Amino acid sequence: MTASQYPLTRHLPLTGKAALVTGGSRSIGAAIAKRLAADGAAVAITYSASPDKAAEVVATITADGGLAIAIEADAGNPGAVRAAIERTVAEFGSLDILVNNAGIALGGPIEAIDFRDYERMIAVNVTGTFVATQEAARHMTTGGRIINIGSSMARYAAFGGASLYTLTKGAIAGFNRSLVRDLGPRGITVNTVHPGPTDTDMNPDGGPVSQIVGPGMAIGRYGKPHEIASVVAYLASPEASFVTGADLIADGGFTA
Ligand code: NDP
């Protein structure tokens, strides 16, 4: 019998786990939600502007035999974020995995940044992550996983006009490092995945950013959302039990 003929037993590493993915209605967040569900987790996603897309993600997971719910929660609204965590715990009985994915990219040259854009970026990318993490930490038990989505831009500025975005992603990386000390003694790991250019609504392959960064991709192409989701799935899994405080770069060699 060849390896490809060998009967597969369905091994689901996240069976019995409950996950919340912020900004799970589209793009990388949707791919993460589907992957965690495929790995056996019950998955809640939050969304802000795309209820139909969120419903599609839930329908896809459900059709595949999984368990999923969508919760409207603007990441820039602390009350809504706290309520989303509480609803997840109420529906699934626990919260074992938090993926802080929701993010936006506003900015421009430093002289031209509108202060309202600054405030919105901090609210969604930084405050949203802080509040979700704080509330999740109150519910998580040993084995918990907090996974942040940073950016390769936090370590390598490939082009101008992104200082505000980089500020928020650098904040996440720093937050991650100290959190490890707070939550490690409780058996909770905290890691950040830093995607490089990935084909999404925010940064479509073929779009304006790709004209600039495309030549810098060592692997010669943009990433796909599922390629970021697979790194998150590893960090969520029992295989990553000794990995905490890590900055995992998944960028096709963009910052190598
Ligand atoms: P998209 O813009 O394609 O999708 C963003 C997702 O986040 C959507 O599901 C959106 O939902 C949700 N979202 C946005 N704002 C809010 C909000 N205020 N509250 C709740 N949900 C929100 O982005 P990507 O998938 O490309 O990016 C996902 C993460 O990955 C971000 O943190 C981004 O910074 C990071 N990243 C992306 C890279 C890339 O090249 N694509 C590279 C490096 C990092 P809705 O429409 O319902 O509001």
* C-beta atoms surrounding 205 within 10 Å: 15
Note the pLDDT of residue 28. Answer: 99
pLDDT, one tens digit per residue, over 24-53 is: 999 999 999 999 999 999 999 999 999 999
Largest separation between any pair of C-alpha atoms in the chain: 66
* C-beta atoms surrounding 45 within 10 Å: 34
> Ligand 1, from 202, 213, 251, 255: best to mutate by most atoms within 8 Å of Cβ?
202
pLDDT over 90 at 9, yes or no: no
Please give all residues whose beta carbon lies within 6 A of any atom in ligand 1, as ranges: 22-23, 25-29, 46-50, 74-76, 101-104, 124, 149, 151, 195, 197-198, 200-203
Distance 42 CA to ligand 1 centre (A): 21
Amino acid at 159: F
pLDDT over 90 at 170, yes or no: yes
Mean pLDDT of the chain: 96
Are 70 and 25 within 8 A, CB to CB? Answer: yes
User: In this structure, what token pair is assigned to residue 235?
Assistant: 């960090």
The average pLDDT across 7-18 equals 82
Note the pLDDT of residue 3. Answer: 67
Count helices and strands in the chain by DSSP H and E runs: 8, 7
Amino acid at 231: V
pLDDT, one tens digit per residue, over 131-141 is: 999 999 999 99
Q: Whose CA is nearest to atom 41 of ligand 1?
A: 198
Q: Whose CA is nearest to atom 23 of ligand 1?
A: 202
Note the pLDDT of residue 4. Answer: 66
Residues 6+ apart with CB under 8 A from 241: 143, 189
pLDDT over 70 at 10, yes or no: no
What atom in ligand 1 is closest to the CA of residue 150? 44
d(C-alpha 46, C-alpha 136), whole Å: 14
Query: Can you give the length of the chain in residues?
Result: 256
Distance 94 CA to ligand 1 centre (A): 25
Note the pLDDT of residue 11. Answer: 75
d(C-alpha 196, C-alpha 153), whole Å: 8
Note the pLDDT of residue 155. Answer: 86
> Under DSSP, is residue 71 helix (H, G, I), strand (E, B) or coil?
strand
pLDDT over 80 at 8, yes or no: no
Catalytic residue among 6, 118, 156, 165: 165
What atom in ligand 1 is closest to the CA of residue 28? 25
Per DSSP (E only), the strands in the chain are 18-21, 42-47, 68-72, 97-100, 145-149, 189-195, 247-250
Q: Whose CA is nearest to atom 6 of ligand 1?
A: 23
pLDDT, one tens digit per residue, over 93-131 is: 999 999 999 999 999 999 999 999 999 999 999 999 999
Please say if 165 is a catalytic residue: yes
Chain position carrying tokens 């392959």: 205
